[in-house]
Structure formats: C-alpha cells, structure tokens
Amino acid sequence: MYVNEIPFMVTTSQAIHFCTAELIKNEKSTTIAIAIKQVIKIYHREGFQVHHLCGNGQFEPIKKHLQDMDININKTGRNEHLAEIECQICTSKEHIRATANQLLLEAYPHRLTIEMVYNVTFWLNFFPHRDGVDDTMIIDYNKHCKLEFGTYVQIQIHEEHDNSLTSGTTGAIALRPTGNTQGSHCIQNFNSG
C-alpha cells in the first residue's frame, strides 16, 4: 500500500482479523522478508503460530528468506488479488483520508503521514471483527481516547532547568496511543522532530 508515495506492507489475518502496516523503504525481497518477520514476531509474542502466508507475485522471491520458519507461502496468480487484503487496504485508506482531511494541512510531513497510517491501524484493531478471536478489548476511554490524532499539546522538557523563567514545555502534536495500560501516547515534538 502506498500513502503519499510512502510504501507500507499491509497484512491481515484470515482467522483473527488482526491487521498490521509496516513501513518499508523499498519493495526488495529482503526488505519485505524483514517486514514479514516483524509481523510474525507480533503473532508469536501473543501466542499465535503462523503456518500459511498468502501474497501476490512479490512474495515469490521471499520464500528463500523464510525457509527456516516452516511457513507455507501461497502466491496468487498473475493479476490476481487477495480479497481480504484489498478490503483491508481500502478500509485503511478511507480512514487515513478522513484523518488527513480533519487536520486541514496543505502538506503532510513524511513522519506525520507514517504516524497517520499507524494510528488508523491501531484503532482498526481495537474494534474487533465479528469473526475475530475476542469481542472484548482492554481499552479505557479516559486513558486511550484523551488525545485525538493531530491535537496540539504542550509537553514537559526533560532537560536540566535553571531557576529562570524560561519555558519548561514545548509544543508537540499527539499521534496515537501506545496501547499500554497507563494510557501513554506517542507524540511528535515540533523542535526535535
């Protein structure tokens, strides 16, 4: 999937309907294999085993990179698409466009676009699919929904301060919840990027 010419590898599980979006720097087989291995680690960390991988023609060259993982790779035919992933990409892009249009910016910085994709993916996973594994997610509105994507915030500067009246905060933009139980959020500092 491309968003403002930035490439992402998008995955979705047929069984539990969990989606991911991994930023990739190019479409080389080694890059895609690294991204797939990162996604597989997420599943393993949660106790799931990945046995099958379906993908388009770009997945043919990555077979050699995943040989040691005992995963069956099923490649689609020429000009054939996987309905599940096409639907996931369409849904993600609709939400990304809606988010972008709320910001009212003329241009979207590279990092902001990436975080927009991650934010959408985060929230799509928190609204469980009717055929998914669990219909209850651990999310607390008062913690995880306190900052909307793109909200201007002031953050405390974690540097040595003197006793002057200089500001101890700096401007930032809220990006997305981290998903931890404390309700922390990822933010982007205007000064440091």
pLDDT tens-digit readout, 147-162: 889 888 888 776 666 6
User: For residue 184, which amino acid is it?
Assistant: S
In DSSP terms, which residues pair with 68 in a beta bridge? none
Domain ranges of the chain: 2-126, 141-189
Measured in residues, the chain has a length of 193
3-state percent breakdown (helix, strand, coil) of the chain, nearest 5: 35, 20, 40
Token couple for 185: 């959020």
CA distance 8 to 23: 4
Q: For residue 131, what pLDDT is reported? A: 67
CA distance 156 to 170: 7
Question: For the chain, which ranges sit under pLDDT 70?
Answer: 128-129, 131-138, 158-162
In DSSP terms, which residues pair with 187 in a beta bridge? 174
**CA–CA distance from 152 to each of 140, 147, 149 (Å)?**
21, 9, 9
Q: For residue 9, what pLDDT is reported? A: 94
pTM score, two decimals? 0.84
How does pLDDT run across 65-85, given as a tens digit for each residue? Answer: 888 888 888 888 888 888 889
Domain 2-126 class in CATH = alpha beta
Match 């992402």 to its residue by tokens.
8
User: For residue 129, which amino acid is it?
Assistant: H
The end-to-end CA distance of the chain, in Å, is 25
